[in-house]
Structures are given as C-alpha cells and as structure tokens.
C-alpha cells in the first residue's frame, strides 16, 4: 500500500503466467538464499513449516497462480496479483474474500537490501508461509471483513493493527520470541535486529496500545508487539473493536519512540 512507486506492475498473460527476466529471477534466487539462511532460530516454527509446505521455487520468481493453487489446497486462502497501488477498500475486500493482494514486480539489484514498497519477494516469501496456518488465515479474512464494516475514521487504526501484526509482529514461543511478521521475515537486516538487538522495545500485545502507537515505514521499528498465539489475533478481530478504538481516539496517540524523519539517519 505504498503511496508512490517507480516500479511497473507485471500483468499475467492469458494463461496466468507472469514473465520475469533472467536478472529478476537471479534477484529472487539471491534474496531467497539469504533469508533461508538467516531465519532458522529467529522465525516461528509455523512460518518455517509454511515455507516448506508451499514448495516455492528457489531459483526463480514463483508464478502467483501456482502459489495461489498451493495455498488454496492448504488453507483455503490465495493470492491475487494487483497493481503496486490499490485502495484500502480494495485491499480489505480481497482479504475478506480470502485473497492476499500481491504486487508482481521484484526489486532492482541496486535496492537489494531495502525497498520501501512491497515487491513480489516480500509478498510471497514474507506473507504466504503464515497463510498456510488456518487460524492466521482466518484472522486475516476476519480483519478484512471487520475493516469493511468500519467508518473511515477508524481505518488508520486498522492500518496500525496490520502494521504491528501482519507486517512487523513477533510471537512468544517455548524457544523465545520469534518473528511472524512479513516485513521482518523478508528483511535481512531487521530479522536479526527484531529479536536480538537491545535497541527496540518488545511490548506484550495490547490492542488499545497498538491503536495508539505511531510508526515510520522507512526505518527499523523501535517498537514491536509480541502476541501469544494466532488465536489471540483472531479473537481480537471477531470482537467489537469500536469501543477500544474510541478509547484510543480519546487518549490520543502515544509519543513517537523514533526521531523525526529529517533527523533520522539511514535505516
């Protein structure tokens, strides 16, 4: 849901095939190899099991139609190719229909380490493994359904919820705190930082606090929220969120824990 992009979406042909160049396939191969080596011991077991179950190609960009078929078989979820920019309503509608909206372009080699907008590597490698977990897939569907029922004045808080869970969430396990958020799982720098660095705060997940927490999209996060289980997220989005959101509005946003953009160094 980036506001602008210099990338052009790739459109599937009449057979649902998206064409990628040799260099684009090489970028996928190198990204995949790097993250596969980094994630064990840092990402949750559900993610690793999901990655294995998806049977993604490691040497070339997987075709979304193949990922969609495999996901449907496992959890009844799917992926839908979309332009880089879609409206919040379209985004929520796709989730409510059990379809994860996925950008089709892949980053250029010069932006190998960091890309602000989500590319196909982030979408498929980052998001799709967790979508093999039925409770988590059900949570995302209910999240989309819930967002569609809310007045527009609440949408920014739903975006905060998405950010601190689906994108940058951590989960407590018997082995310790682990990654489940796609923004971390697809990042070579933030994966070790999120679970090992002493710099960020790791707070127990609390919806009221999450709704009040601002964030920046262009730096490593200064705050992470730690859930106990995917069931916790499902229970939240199937409850009445409006009173919690109204209380968050009344209390106003918490002070940022990050520097203003003009004072911050490069992430």
**Residue 4 falls in the annotated catalytic set:** no
pLDDT value of residue 6 = 83
Q: Select the more confidently predicted residue: 19 or 85.
A: 19
**Binding site residue list:** 122, 127, 167
Please check the confidence at residue 3 and state whether its pLDDT lies above 70.
no
pLDDT tens, 106-148?
A: 999 999 999 888 999 999 999 999 999 999 999 999 999 999 9
Active-site annotation holder among 117, 122, 123, 190: 122
Q: For 88-112, what is each residue's pLDDT tens digit? A: 999 999 999 999 999 999 999 999 9
- Write down the catalytic residue from 186, 187, 190, 194: 186
The yes-or-no answer on residue 127 being catalytic is yes
**22-257: in CATH 1.10.800.10:** yes
pLDDT at 253: 98
Residue 138: is it exposed, middle or buried by C-beta count within 10 angstroms (0-12/13-18/19+)?
buried
pLDDT tens by residue, 27-76? 999 999 999 999 999 999 999 999 999 999 999 999 999 999 999 999 99
**Is residue 263 over pLDDT 70?**
no
Interstrand relation of 176-179 and 99-103 (parallel, antiparallel or unpaired): unpaired
Active site residue 52: no
Binding residues for Fe cation, by number, are 122, 127, 167
From CA 214, how far away is CA 231, in angstroms rounded?
25
pLDDT in tens, 229-262: 999 999 999 999 999 999 999 999 999 999 988 7
Q: Which of 127, 187, 190, 194 is catalytic?
A: 127
User: For 165-212, how does the pLDDT look when each residue is reduced to its tens digit (9 = 90+)?
Assistant: 999 999 999 999 999 999 999 999 999 999 999 999 999 999 999 999
Q: Which of 167, 187, 190, 194 is catalytic?
A: 167
pLDDT given for residue 266 in this prediction: 42
**Any idea where the domains of the chain sit in the sequence?**
22-257
Q: Which residues contact 140 (CB under 8 A, 6 or more apart)?
A: 77, 95, 98, 100, 131, 166
Given a contact cutoff of 8 angstroms between Cβ atoms, the answer to whether 205 and 226 are in contact is yes
157-172 burial, b at 16+ Cβ within 10 Å, e below that, comes to bbbbbbbbbbbbbbbb
Q: According to the model, what pLDDT value does residue 261 have? A: 82
């Amino acid at each position: 849901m980036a506001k602008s992009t210099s990338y052009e979406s790739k459109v599937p042909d009449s057979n649902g095939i998206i064409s990628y160049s040799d260099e684009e396939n090489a970028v996928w191969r190198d990204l995949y190899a790097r993250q596969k080596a980094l994630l064990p011991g840092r990402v949750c077991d559900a993610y690793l099991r999901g990655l294995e179950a998806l049977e993604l190609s490691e040497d070339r960009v997987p075709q979304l139609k193949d990922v969609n078929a495999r996901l449907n078989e496992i959890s009844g979820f799917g992926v839908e190719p979309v332009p880089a920019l879609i409206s919040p309503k379209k985004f929520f509608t796709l989730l409510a229909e059990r379809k994860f909206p996925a950008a089709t372009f892949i980053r250029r080699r010069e932006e190998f380490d960091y890309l602000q907008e989500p590319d196909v590597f982030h979408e498929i490698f980052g998001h799709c493994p967790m979508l093999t977990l039925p409770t988590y897939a059900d949570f995302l569907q209910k999240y989309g359904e819930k967002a569609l029922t809310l007045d527009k004045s609440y949408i920014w808080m739903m975006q905060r919820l998405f950010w601190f869970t689906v994108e940058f969430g951590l989960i407590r396990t018997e082995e310790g705190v682990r990654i489940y958020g796609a923004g971390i799982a697809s990042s070579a720098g933030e994966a070790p930082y999120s679970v090992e660095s002493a710099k960020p705060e790791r707070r127990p997940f609390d919806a009221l606090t999450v709704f009040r927490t601002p964030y920046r999209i262009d730096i490593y996060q200064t705050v992470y929220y730690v859930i106990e289980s995917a069931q916790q997220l499902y229970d939240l989005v199937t409850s009445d969120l409006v009173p919690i959101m109204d209380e968050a509005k009344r209390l106003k946003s918490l002070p940022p824990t990050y520097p203003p953009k003009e004072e911050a160094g490069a992430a």
